[in-house]
Amino acid sequence: MADKQNELTSIQGTISRITYQHPESHYTVARLDEDGGPAATVVGVLFPVSEGEEIKVTGVWKRHARYGLQFQVDHWTKVDPATLEGIEKYLGSGMIKGIGPTYAKRLVGAFGLETLRVLSEEPLRVLDVDGIGEVRARRIMEAWQAQRGMQDVMVFLQGHGVGASLALRIYRVFGADTVAQVRENPYALAQQVHGIGFLLADRLAGHIGIRGDFPLRVQAGVLHVLRESSERGHCYLPLTALAKSACQLLEVDDERIDIAVEKLAERGEVILQSERDPHLTRVYLVNLFEAEQRVAQALARLLTTPSFLQGDRRPRPWEKDQGVSRGAIDLLSGALFADLPINLDEDQVSAARRALQEKVFVITGGPGTGKTTLLMSLLAILRRAKVSFALAAPTGRAAKRMTESTGEDATTLHRLLEYNPREGGFQRNADKPLQVDVIIVDEASMVDIALMDHLLAAIEPHTHLILVGDVDQLPSVGPGSVLKDLIESQSVPVATLRRIFRQVQQSLIVVNAHRILQGQNLEFSDARERRDFDFIARESEEEILETIKELLRERIPRWLGAPPEQIVQSVQLLTPMHRGLLGTIQLNRDLQSLFNPTGQAIERAGMTLRVRDKVMQLRNNYDKGVFNGDLGRIVSIDRDDGKIRVDYDERVVEYESDEWDEISLAYATSIHKSQGSEYPVVVLPLHTSHYIMLYRSILYTAVTRGKKLVIVVGSRKALGMAIRNVRVEIRNTGLKERLIGALATRESAALF
């Protein structure tokens, strides 16, 4: 067997002992006595199985560092026990309520090799067995049917190419109705079960004979294309673009797509927004259409409601002296601006005054332009005036940076809005608004349309909202382009900070970030100086990779004054691509071998995860309080109970075996995933093979993630391509025009 490790194979035998089975994930460790062969340890999602059952398992042999050679199960099928001893052991295992060892022996004594058939086809015959009355017989029949029903479901799904872990997820959602649901509409699985996408559902549909132009298939395909486009940041797709993508995916004609879109619109699953050109009709997922509408209306309401910070005002709703009018708080008085801890230039003073005047205000600018300085001064003024405020950011890392830079507590937007999945989402909303005068959101370019919708729903009309961010960064991971749309609408007051202050002009990171935006060649460090930006010219991908390894083994540890194994959390490789020699997948494998080559490990989807590995959360998980892009470190792996524990800034999160796909190695991450984060050291490989992703904003984003040192390793041609390519990531959004329209409507109503 040792010579067949990692080779897909099948073995058959009897479960002689279940060593461990997790009560929720059903991750199982069991002893399998092979037919005509030795005993083996099998591990994986084996449910429902019990001792005495004969099963056939398919998977691979793996050598565990602690437990030796094990068979990792991908999927399994049940084989009814063929001997009297096997049947008796199976029934006496406790799997069937009402049947223990005693009654198992009596049943096998009465029916022999026909016992299992009798239980399935003639269950009333159990009443003929000594000691089994009507009550016990009913318990046995119900338990047998439930157990066989689950088993039949699992076998059915695995027989159609669904792995054991996903099969269990499906069963948890649909229960005994699983097979009927799959046969009626397998595409419902893609909508209701996490981890089951359209492609898997479509493969399952093909297995059960659903033809290519089946209406439910076409409708599911259209929804899949829309959801995929939302994952790329779009709030809608023009009908022609949707039809083209759907036709390619489904291999059906345009007419089928048009019919499917109309049907989905009738059912309220998509919204059609007509345009002058019918081919340009916008097709929205309902949630994104409604979010755009609500955000536009909420912003229009804020912008047209007078500020309580200037002039007489009524008390805020949460104040106790509801009947008492309070006088003006003159936040623009010279007294409040005098003797601030930080000197402001004219542009910053003007921005500060406008931020205190305007109900919604945007502060934007590149690195070193004084956004943090301005923010600290605003906070000093608000504290002097005894005006309440809240600081927030889209991610935990961004919130932590905000706290460090301002000295004030900042939180994630999700925590500010008190997200609680057990009670139905965000607890702060229109019915329970935030009781604060001013809300300041940093890294606002990362806020997508859905999160902005939830934030605005929780803001009182008199509250001020200040958005701080760099509009030249890549847009949010989620759909929408909120900050850019607000600025381009010209409906929201904006202060753009451009001056690079003298104290940061010594930073080549800052200087080069601005040179990138201006399309200028970069400046590099003098080898004799300890500057913070360097470029190492290498032409081939192999040379780039070897240079990066050398940097991580030798140069960067010397620069940081720490051994290589201790610099993992300080150094972040950022790359434009996922595939290829310099993509995230291969780089993570290489860097894992460099930094963490041995130790307790598990295999998942072709990836090895080890204790001490640096990992990233891949999707928002509100139950666990971890979000897309969060970085952590694996602190333990328990194969026996199927759990991985990850430390996120001293908060440990536990993952069950069917949740392992939520995390991935993160020695190297995509530049998109780095938004909102800062790292002491950034290493950026650039090669012409990345040409699809070599454009100005992605290079700018990567460079501005570095705090102390940025090293670009690559070809001069690739660097030049990235600087010259002014490609702007255009997203299909309607927020800008909706905001203009909502303001016009409110202004018209005010005239009458």
Q: pLDDT tens, 361-416?
A: 999 998 888 888 889 888 988 888 888 999 999 987 788 889 988 889 999 999 99
Contact assessment for residue 441 and residue 467, using Cβ atoms and an 8 Å cutoff: yes
pLDDT confidence tier of residue 541, bands split at 50, 70 and 90: very high
281 within 8 A of 273, measured Cβ to Cβ: yes
Range among 490-499, 515-524, 650-659 with highest mean pLDDT value: 490-499
Model pLDDT, residue 262 = 95
- Please name the residues in contact with 323: beta carbons below 8 A apart, sequence gap of 6 or more: none
Environment class of residue 195 by beta-carbon count within 10 Å: exposed (0-12), middle (13-18) or buried (19+)? Answer: middle
Q: How far is CA 369 from CA 363, 442, 505, in A?
A: 11, 15, 10
Bridge partners, residue 98, by sequence = none
φ, ψ of residue 511 in degrees (nearest 5) = -60, -45
The model's pLDDT over 91-111, given as tens digits with 9 standing for 90+, comes to 776 667 678 788 888 898 899
Lowest mean pLDDT among 82-96, 489-503, 671-685: 82-96
For the stretch 555-610, pLDDT in tens is 898 888 888 778 888 899 999 888 889 999 899 999 999 888 888 887 765 678 89
Task: Check residue 475 and give its pLDDT.
Answer: 85
Contact call for residues 650 and 396 (beta carbons, < 8 A): no
pLDDT above 70 as % of the chain: 88
Q: Judging by DSSP bridges, how do beta strands 607-610 and 601-604 pair with one another?
A: antiparallel
Mean pLDDT for all residues in the chain: 84
pLDDT above 50: residue 321: no
Tell me, what DSSP letter sits at residue 555? Answer: I
Q: Which of 62, 67, 478 is closest to 285 using CA atoms?
A: 478
pTM of the predicted model, to two decimals? Answer: 0.76
User: What's the confidence (pLDDT) of residue 224?
Assistant: 93
Q: What pLDDT band is residue 9 in, cutting at 50, 70 and 90?
A: confident
- pLDDT category of residue 481 using cuts at 50, 70 and 90: very high
pLDDT at 325 over 50: no
Most confidently modeled range among 313-327, 421-435, 734-748: 734-748
Under 8 Å between Cβ of 706 and 733: no
Higher confidence at residue 575 or residue 190? 575
**62, pLDDT greater than 50:** yes
**Selection from 281, 271, 221 nearest residue 247 by Cα:** 221
User: CA 706, 708, 710 angle in degrees (round to 5)?
Assistant: 50
Q: How far apart are CA 634 and CA 479, in angstroms?
A: 30
